Amino acid sequence: VLRGDITAALRRALIEELAAVGYGRMSVEAVARRAGVAKTAVYRRWGSKPEMVLAIVAEVAERKLSLPDAGSLRADVQVVLRIMAQALEHPLAAQIIPDLLAEAGRDPKIAEALQVALRTAQDEVGGRLIRRAIARGELRADANPELAVDLVVGPVYWRLAVSRRPLPPDQVGALADAVVAALVAGAPA
Amino acid sequence: VLRGDITAALRRALIEELAAVGYGRMSVEAVARRAGVAKTAVYRRWGSKPEMVLAIVAEVAERKLSLPDAGSLRADVQVVLRIMAQALEHPLAAQIIPDLLAEAGRDPKIAEALQVALRTAQDEVGGRLIRRAIARGELRADANPELAVDLVVGPVYWRLAVSRRPLPPDQVGALADAVVAALVAGAPA
Amino acid sequence: VLRGDITAALRRALIEELAAVGYGRMSVEAVARRAGVAKTAVYRRWGSKPEMVLAIVAEVAERKLSLPDAGSLRADVQVVLRIMAQALEHPLAAQIIPDLLAEAGRDPKIAEALQVALRTAQDEVGGRLIRRAIARGELRADANPELAVDLVVGPVYWRLAVSRRPLPPDQVGALADAVVAALVAGAPA
Amino acid sequence: VLRGDITAALRRALIEELAAVGYGRMSVEAVARRAGVAKTAVYRRWGSKPEMVLAIVAEVAERKLSLPDAGSLRADVQVVLRIMAQALEHPLAAQIIPDLLAEAGRDPKIAEALQVALRTAQDEVGGRLIRRAIARGELRADANPELAVDLVVGPVYWRLAVSRRPLPPDQVGALADAVVAALVAGAPA
DNA sequence: ATGTAAGCGAGACGGTACGTCACGTCTTCAC
DNA sequence: GTGAAGACGTGACGTACCGTCTCGCTTACAT
């Protein structure tokens, strides 16, 4: 019977190590060391570094983020922006997410695991959010949901995760306004 | 006198290796091997792995991209989008850029080197492009150039480099329209 | 716990490599390669090339060679000659011993290690053997044991290890006779 | 036209380097450095390390040592011992000779070069010296010249070059006496 | 209660890469 | 054409980690 406290310590250590050195440099040995545990304890659970990362990342990523109807397109967009901002402002996530996204370009397994997580946002935003706006008459029926996702998610990701400048809370409104305008304009393909 | 053909082969090999395995896993030995050159030839030029990467990346990144006035805000935005799309659709760049941006979160040296390159885009877009639009009367004078950069650059980066879906050329126009609308709406801070 | 079979393989490989290329050219890598073992396995045991050579050579050299009383000076001398001939006719020893003796002129550590081995012969021959002969009345009491060692050991070493000509077994008797005569004559300093 | 002063400096440097580090470790680079000369200067003259060593060693070794008739076997032996002692007490020779003799076991070229030098001693001692003694009636006609060489040369070589103990001049007489006795006794094969 | 299985730590194993050094070869310049 | 300078490939250095594997120890469950 695998000891639960060790599993938990390893989970925690993996996240920290991943943030500290990145996927490429990360080693099972270092994770075990950080968790204060022998290497065998890791291999008994996951078998290899990618398996371990995938299992734990998937675990974290699959926490459903429900996106309740906020009443208007602008309010919905603001919710999405706030959720993303909150996630990307967590230091560990800010390190790990771009790292795994970069690695996804090489390792299809990782790409797939992340797609599962992304699909959530993808579907939520591009799917539900846009469909709701169409239903409300805020967007035209032929609005392109794909482009919509890029317009909503792109700016905030670029700001926080790529150019790593903070996003003052009082600018979220302005950003939302701009994004909504973009959505309205972007539709009529 | 260091032989130029060897330097060139190493430069090329570094780029390829960086794309193939990422910054974290990249090794000087592998680069030398790929270039068909002895390890000593590398250390005669750069002294260590990060130095080598920085020097070559900076070299590539500093290629000035001039942004001539295209006549209107929409045309200017379209030019920026096309330049970015062209860059990010190159397979090597699509692998290397997100990788280095992720690494920049850990290594200040890399961050700095990339900022030099980013600042170009930053200044070109957020600075010149927006100022021109203001001068033309297309944007209000109090438009926020910081937000503007995020709005222009974010969606196309997300699309091509993060979620890795292609951007059909015929959608660039729609995207530009949406971005312009966002800029116009996003201004009145 | 270091694996004994690997230690043994390394010991064997060191001896062979030493004979093949000599102390000066010998490399740890080549020894490990010859033993079919990783370089780390060597450094886990000895730490450096000279340490390794010293440890193994000392180990081999310290095998006590007991010299039982053969009954007469001539018989004793013959035993010594036979032992030396047997040792020096082994191809590995014939390569290694002169090599290390030459190196001993430069490296005091090696000199010391060899002295331990030589002292055995030295004491056995110059000490015990001569003293026995004096006790038997075969040599005068003021016989010089130092010279005696040279007279017994020198000719056979020169023959086999320096000028590398074989010593036919049927000539050992004649050589012993000559040496005994020399000992008898050499004493009266 | 190769400059003579450089050739001489290289010759001198080779000898010193050979004594200092031994044949195995000796490098052309170090010799050139010691001579204060570029590597090219060496390779223009000799082409490789073994060639260089062989040429210079042969040059030194071929200096004829004439062995005039000293009047008696004992006097002849004493002359040989004194010549050898003088040679082996020179610090450079004491390092180089055993080193090359050891290397001769591996490299036939070196062995051959040394045999030329050894043959001199061989012939002088085993040949001429013994034949003279037979002619004088000091040795029987069937004396074995091969054994004789070993008996004369072995002890002094062992003493000075192998066990590296000094040979006090006043012991040369005693050693000569012993050797003569050995020769006389060793003959009647 | 005891036996047995499995988790656990420790650590040796074969690898790979590190950054350095020294070397023999070869090319390029200055006299 | 000679010698100096130095870049080149090679190969070894001794170190540091890494993933794999084999060990005893000890813990917990099933008899």
Euclidean distance between CA atoms B82 and B169, whole angstroms: 9
User: What is the pLDDT at residue B183?
Assistant: 93
Euclidean distance between CA atoms C166 and B13, whole angstroms: 60
pLDDT per position as a tens digit, B130-147: 889 999 999 999 888 889
CB-based contacts of C98: which residues, under 8 Å, 6+ apart?
C161, C162, D98, D101, D102, D105
Q: Write out chain C residues lying below 8 Å of D189, CB-based.
A: 171, 174
Angle at A106 between CA A105 and CA A109, to 5 degrees: 95
B77, B176 contact by CB (below 8 A):
yes
Number of alpha carbons in the 13 Å side-chain half-sphere of residue A83: 17
> Tokens representing D180?
């003569």
The region of weakest confidence among A93-107, B45-59, C9-23, D106-120 is D106-120
* Cβ D6 to strand F below 7 Å: yes
Query: Is the pLDDT confidence value at B121 over 80?
Result: no
Q: Of all protein residues, which has its CA closest to the C1' atom of E27?
A: B1
Residue entry with tokens 């201004």: B187
State how far the alpha carbon of D38 is from the alpha carbons of D21, D43, D103, in Å. 20, 9, 27
User: What is the pLDDT at residue D189?
Assistant: 47
The region of weakest confidence among A84-98, A102-116, D5-19 is A102-116
A156, A81 contact by CB (below 8 A):
yes
User: What is the pLDDT at residue C67?
Assistant: 77
Euclidean distance between CA atoms C177 and D188, whole angstroms: 10
Euclidean distance between CA atoms A111 and B98, whole angstroms: 14
The region of weakest confidence among B120-134, B140-154, C1-15, C99-113 is B120-134
As a residue count, chain D comes to 189
Q: Which parts of chain D have pLDDT scores under 70?
A: 64-65, 121, 187-189
Say how many Å lie between the first and final Cα of chain C, rounded: 58
Q: Cβ contact (<8 Å) for C122 and D163?
A: yes
Query: Is the pLDDT confidence value at B188 over 70?
Result: no
State how far the alpha carbon of C4 is from the alpha carbons of B122, C7, C41, C186, in Å. 65, 5, 11, 50
Euclidean distance between CA atoms D146 and D143, whole angstroms: 9
Percent with pLDDT over 90 in chain C:
67
Query: Is the pLDDT confidence value at C11 over 80?
Result: yes
> Nearest C-alpha of chain D: how many angstroms from C5?
29
| Sequence-ordered alpha helix ranges (H) in D62-171 | 73-89, 91-104, 108-122, 130-136, 145-157
Most confident listed range (A56-70, A80-94, B9-23, D93-107):
B9-23
* Cβ C6 to strand E below 7 Å: yes
Give nearest nucleotide to A29 (CA–C1').
Answer: F18
3-state helix, strand, coil in chain A (%, to 5): 75, 0, 25
> Tokens representing B53?
């990467």
Angle at D6 between CA D5 and CA D9, to 5 degrees: 85
State how far the alpha carbon of A170 is from the alpha carbons of A183, B7, B138, B152, C132, in Å. 21, 50, 25, 20, 107
B174, closest residue in chain A (CA to CA): A186
User: What is the pLDDT at residue C189?
Assistant: 47
Give nearest nucleotide to C3 (CA–C1').
Answer: E12
Which helix (H) or strand (E) segment holds residue C64: the answer is none
Report, in ranges, which bases of strand F sit under 7 Å from a protein C-beta: 2-23, 28-29
> Tokens representing B43?
């250390």
Query: Is the pLDDT confidence value at C112 over 90?
Result: no
Query: Is the pLDDT confidence value at B187 over 70?
Result: no
> Tokens representing A22?
């990145």
The helices-and-strands tally (H runs, E runs) of chain D is: 10, 0
More confidently predicted of A129 and B117: A129
User: What is the pLDDT at residue D60?
Assistant: 80
Euclidean distance between CA atoms B61 and B78, whole angstroms: 21
* Cβ D39 to strand E below 7 Å: yes
CB-based contacts of C97: which residues, under 8 Å, 6+ apart?
C87, C88, C161
Q: Cβ contact (<8 Å) for C159 and D150?
A: yes
* Cβ D20 to strand E below 7 Å: no
* Cβ D49 to strand E below 7 Å: yes
B97, closest residue in chain A (CA to CA): A102
* Mean pLDDT within A147-170: 93
B104, B111 contact by CB (below 8 A):
yes
User: What is the pLDDT at residue A187?
Assistant: 58
3-class secondary-structure state, position A175: helix
D79, D67 contact by CB (below 8 A):
yes
User: What is the pLDDT at residue D145?
Assistant: 87
State how far the alpha carbon of B85 is from the alpha carbons of A145, A155, B161, B173, in Å. 20, 16, 9, 13
> Nearest C-alpha of chain C: how many angstroms from D3?
32
Q: Who among C21, C95, C155 is closest to D155 (CB)?
A: C155
Euclidean distance between CA atoms A107 and B15, whole angstroms: 18
User: What is the pLDDT at residue A188?
Assistant: 54
B150, A156 contact by CB (below 8 A):
yes
Phi, psi of A62 (to 5 degrees): -80, 0
C42 pLDDT band, cuts 50/70/90, is: very high
Euclidean distance between CA atoms B52 and B48, whole angstroms: 6
Q: Cβ contact (<8 Å) for C174 and D153?
A: no
Report, in ranges, which bases of strand E sit under 7 Å from a protein C-beta: 6-28
* Mean pLDDT within C92-102: 93
What is the phi-psi region of residue D172: left when phi exceeds 0, alpha when psi lies from -120 to 50, beta otherwise?
Answer: alpha
Q: How far is the CA of C43 from the C1' of E18 (A)?
A: 16
Chains B and C: 3 or more CB pairs within 8 Å of each other = no
Q: Cβ contact (<8 Å) for D181 and C179?
A: no
* Mean pLDDT within C76-103: 93
Say how many Å lie between the first and final Cα of chain B, rounded: 57
What is the phi-psi region of residue C71: left when phi exceeds 0, alpha when psi lies from -120 to 50, beta otherwise?
Answer: left
Q: How far is the CA of B24 from the C1' of F9 (A)?
A: 27
**Measured over all CA atoms, what is the biggest interatomic distance in chain A, rounded to whole angstroms?**
59
* Cβ D33 to strand F below 7 Å: no
What single-letter amino acid sits at B110? I
**Which residue in A117, A173, A183, A185 sits closest to A148, CA to CA?**
A183
CB-count exposure of residue B25 (10 Å: 0-12, 13-18, 19+): middle
> Tokens representing A110?
């990782």
> Nearest C-alpha of chain A: how many angstroms from B51?
18
Q: How far is the CA of A6 from the C1' of E1 (A)?
A: 30
**Which residue in D157, A159, A164 sits closest to B104, CA to CA?**
A164
pLDDT per position as a tens digit, B37-91: 999 999 999 999 999 999 998 888 777 667 788 899 999 999 999 999 999 999 9
Which helix (H) or strand (E) segment holds residue C38: the answer is none
3-class secondary-structure state, position C137: coil
D186, C177 contact by CB (below 8 A):
yes
Please report the DSSP string for B24-55 in residue order: HH--HHHHHHHHT--HHHHHHHTSSHHHHHHH
Q: How far is the CA of B145 from the C1' of F5 (A)?
A: 56
Q: Cβ contact (<8 Å) for B105 and A118?
A: no
What is this structure's pTM?
0.87
Percent with pLDDT over 70 in chain A:
96
Q: Of all protein residues, which has its CA closest to the C1' atom of F5?
A: D38
A84, A157 contact by CB (below 8 A):
yes
B113 pLDDT band, cuts 50/70/90, is: confident
